[in-house]
Amino acid sequence: MKLANPLNCKIAIIGLGYVGLPLAVEISKRKRCCKTGENVNRKIVGFDINHRRIEELVNCEDKTNEINGSDIKFLNCINFTSSEDDLINSDVFIVTVPTPIDKFKRPDLKAIINANITIGRVIKKSSSNIAPIIIYESTVYPGLTEEICVPILEEESGYLYNSTKDQNSFFCGYSPERINPGDKNHRLTNIVKLVSGCNEIVEDWIDIFYSSFIEAGTHKTGSIKVAEAAKVIENTQRDLNIALINELSIIFKFMKIDTRDVLKAAGTKWNFLPFNPGLVGGHCIGVDPYYLTYKSEQLGYRPEIVLAGRRMNDNMGSWIVEQLILGIAVNGKKILNSKILILGLTFKEDCPDLRNSKVFDVIKNLKKYGLTSEVVDPLVKKTDLKNNIEFSFENQIDLTRNYDGILCLVAHKEFKNLNEQNWGELIKKETVCIDLKNLIPRKFNPIRI
């Protein structure tokens, strides 16, 4: 068993999205270990099957906006490629591919399975005497690394897993990503990194590796399964907390109480957790709980609380549309063909990511009732939308247009910057406003959720 020097090795990062690219850049920036001060000399290969993504990065562009302008120059230090041959003889492979769910809300493992097939083939072609280490950062259910990934690697490579005596062997670890897209304060290097390995030596190797550029430090979990479980419950806990507040907002609506006022009052207690109602989408919070429940049900236990929280959050879009329609009806206006302005399309504020955005659920429900949607989002390019989209789209608000309803769903800074005069031009006498993000001044009597 011979492992590479964690400070002097060839690194292959598989998947160059919101997780993989910032990771590649931070590793390339680090010339000295932030823990020991030792010199660092690494070669980085960034691999993605999306040829357009590779072309973009080669040209030092990043459509995810995760790389700061001052860091763009470090893209030149990375070998971006879609060729498997460029991965040969890598000492460590870091898998950062997406792990979504399918239409039945079951784990969709195609990307991570294909990543392992690729790595297995590459390992087989290796001429190095260094045993490769494969580290997974993608969110998975507890056990997936060793139950799904390892057998594929063994079959494709012909190598043995976790064999300290066999020359043709490989090792695995799990170190979950904790990237928060669009968050400019909580970045990769100032978030504690969980690390784990298939044995103590490998866990120590992975710990040294990440400790060299993660300034916040690391936490050894002791096993791959513990690290997998820790990651999946981080987002499950947040999902459940938001589900509780969403349900409270529905209850308070019946009671004719402003939810935001209630939360502000309750928040004066030191141990009250600061959560707000909202649409829960994206590639993490709205997805990860299903990985946990899937594995739980496989083992014979059907979770009640976790799934209840998912149902609540998944149904918020339809409930918001119901409130809008009730408001239009109360105004005595015709519902069919009512024109609705939707502010925000991405899954969260100040982030261009459209994956699993629950705003699309709102649009589908509006169409079901015969309402017309006009969406404004300053961060989305029309080219990112499908050609057959069934709503009109703009990047800027036209304050001169008339709308029967306005839905404030995503708090982009451009919407936060609207002043009272702007809102006064936009909101007409009988416009029904649903304000999910507390953006509209109270004088316009929005329905605050």
Retrieve residue 246's tokens: 């969403």
C-alpha dist (Å) from residue 111 to 78, 139, 241, 243, 391: 22, 12, 30, 29, 30
Q: Hey, is 278 helix, strand or coil?
A: coil
65 within 8 A of 352, measured Cβ to Cβ: yes
194 within 8 A of 227, measured Cβ to Cβ: yes
Element (H, E) at 394: strand 392-394
Calpha distance 55→318 (Å, rounded): 40
Q: Count how many residues are written for the chain.
A: 449
Retrieve residue 349's tokens: 């504020």
Element (H, E) at 295: helix 288-298
Element (H, E) at 12: strand 10-14
Residues with a catalytic annotation lie at 284
Retrieve residue 442's tokens: 């109270």
Retrieve residue 398's tokens: 């036209």
Give the residue from 313, 310, 317, 316 showing the smallest Cα distance to 290: 310
Q: Hey, is 63 helix, strand or coil?
A: coil
Strand partners for 136? 95, 174
Angle, CA 426 vertex, CA 255 and CA 260 arms, to 5°: 25
Q: Hey, is 340 helix, strand or coil?
A: strand
Sequential DSSP letters for 139-208 = ---TTHIIIIIHHHHHHHH-PEET-SS-SSEEEEEE------TT-SSS-GGGSPEEE-BSSHHHHHHHHH
Query: Going by C-beta distance under 8 Å and a sequence separation of 6 or more, which residues neighbour residue 268?
Result: none
